[in-house]
Amino acid sequence: MPVSRQELKERAFAAIDQNRDKIIALGDSIFAEPELGFKEVKTAAKIKKVFEELGYEYQDGAAITGVIAPRKGKESKMKVAVMGELDAVVAPGHRCADPKTGAAHSCGHNCMIAALSGVAYALKDTGIMEELSGDIVLMAVPAEEYVEIGYRNELKKEGKIYFLGGKPEFIRLGYLDDVDVLLMQHSANYEGEQKRAYAGGETIGFLGKLVHYIGKEAHAGGAPHLGINALNAAQIGLMAVNAQRETFQDKDHIRVHPIMTKGGDLVNVVPADVRIETYVRGGSVEAIFDASAKVDRAFKAGADAVGAKCEITNLPGYLPTDFSKDLYDLNYENLKMIIGEEQAGYQAPLSTASGDLGDVSHIMPCIQASIGGAVGVFHSENFEIGDKELAYIVPAKLLVATAIDLLADGAKTGLAVKANFRPKMTKQEYLTVWGGMKE
């Protein structure tokens, strides 16, 4: 006689609770040893150790540092991916920041891998997979944070990556080709609010830019008139970008936030090599491309003003999210069961941050729950995990509960979610239109 979904969930929750200390210890250990994207060697080793202890086969080295562990159901009518992110962001003032790289887990990705381990524990020796009509694949993915653009661009030139983010690389390399639905969650800070977690929440997209101003060196004191000042060109370009801001419409959620990564070489030499990195964020692909053209025009105007040259490299960033309503509904019901209806929300307010799950959401049904437990400001030195039950344990339970809903009872719910989904792009369209790859 088939085991009910509720019984399967109760088995999963019991296994997660039994391994609670291990899950929390893993999350804390990753928090203490942050690594930046495509460099997450120690972090990958930690989740591999969990898989090894459970006797799970896995593939490592996926998009350099990713780890993939498949679990087979009694049938393979469809496949659900449960994913967590390996990487940290840069916050050099954080108490746990890496002294060499400045990496710190100020975005809560350690909670993702802790929750992923919780799902792994839930699927071991509980009889759950034997009752499911589909497979679950556990994925630890690198490089969600779009940082160290110069370093990653070098990896691209070397042919080690094409996209600068982990999930786009997973798409390109085919690791998601046989996945039908993808589940994730992300930490949040809901201190002082009634709702402590949401079934999902949307983010905007962006593209990246590398801007290179090329001038002419000369003695800065003795003969500046013989030089062409690339720093002046860059400053005019930045002012021209700011002059575009009143043309950005509120509905498009445009954000442009450049940094200057090089302002010259020596104080007594007219700067001839000046570099800027920036994102152009927006709520739709059309809005991003429109703002991007304005920003390019502004940067080039700075060069024209002083007779310098301006070279702009546009890099595919991340697409806005478009999560499945069916998955919102499933997550919401499970979240209410786990933390109570009063504390569970349906959809979080739109975030003007970005993530590479947006790319996947254009190809297949996805969801990313937004779950509290964090305190302090994200991407800052004061970010901490304040409620470890909420940040580590609740996400694991939510992920496995929704996976059970999708694959139990002949996977009828999961197949319905798949049938209802209308992709905005095929994989090939994504690679060529957004990624700019040749067919």
Q: What is the pLDDT of residues 323-369, one digit of tens each?
A: 999 999 999 999 999 999 999 999 999 999 999 999 999 999 999 99
The whole-angstrom separation of Cα 358 and Cα 39 is: 23
Q: Is the pLDDT of residue 140 over 70?
A: yes
pLDDT of residue 438: 56
**The pair of three-digit structure tokens given for residue 216, joined into one six-digit string:** 């002419």
pLDDT in tens, 386-423: 999 999 999 999 999 999 999 999 999 999 999 999 99
So what's the pLDDT on residue 433? 82
| pLDDT, tens only, 255-290 | 999 999 999 999 999 999 999 999 999 999 999 999
Instruction: Give the mean pLDDT of 35-64.
Output: 99
Across residues 134-160, what is the average pLDDT? 96
User: Where does CATH 3.30.70.360 sit in the chain?
Assistant: 205-316
As a whole number, mean pLDDT of residues 228-252 equals 98
Q: Residue 3 burial (CB < 10 Å; 0-12/13-18/19+)?
A: middle
**Is the confidence at residue 307, as pLDDT, over 90?**
yes
Tokens (6 digits) for 364: 């297949």
Q: What is the pLDDT of residue 308?
A: 99
pLDDT higher than 70, residue 161:
yes
Q: What angle do CA 121, 166, 90 make, to 5 degrees?
A: 95
The residue to which tokens 């991007």 are assigned: 292
Q: Where in the chain is the domain with CATH 3.40.630.10?
A: 5-203+321-434
Tokens of 37: 């994207």
Asked if the model's pLDDT at residue 439 lies above 90, the reply is: no
Average pLDDT over residues 215-224: 98
Q: What is the mean pLDDT of residues 299-315?
A: 97
User: Which option is the CATH number for 205-316: 3.30.70.360, 3.40.630.30, 1.20.1300.10, 2.60.40.10?
Assistant: 3.30.70.360
Three-state secondary-structure class, residue 345: strand
What is the pLDDT at residue 436? 80
Distance CA 408, CA 122 (A): 15
DSSP element (H, E) containing 205: strand 205-214
Q: Coil, strand or helix: which one is 236?
A: helix
| Span 5-203+321-434 CATH architecture | 3-Layer(aba) Sandwich (3.40)
> Please, what's the largest Cα pairwise distance for the chain?
91
CA dist., res. 400 & res. 396, Å (int): 6
* pLDDT for the residue numbered 1: 75
Are 185 and 370 in contact, with CB atoms under 8 Å apart? yes
For strands 59-62 and 66-71, give the pairing.
Answer: antiparallel
Dist. CA 120–CA 131, nearest whole Å: 16
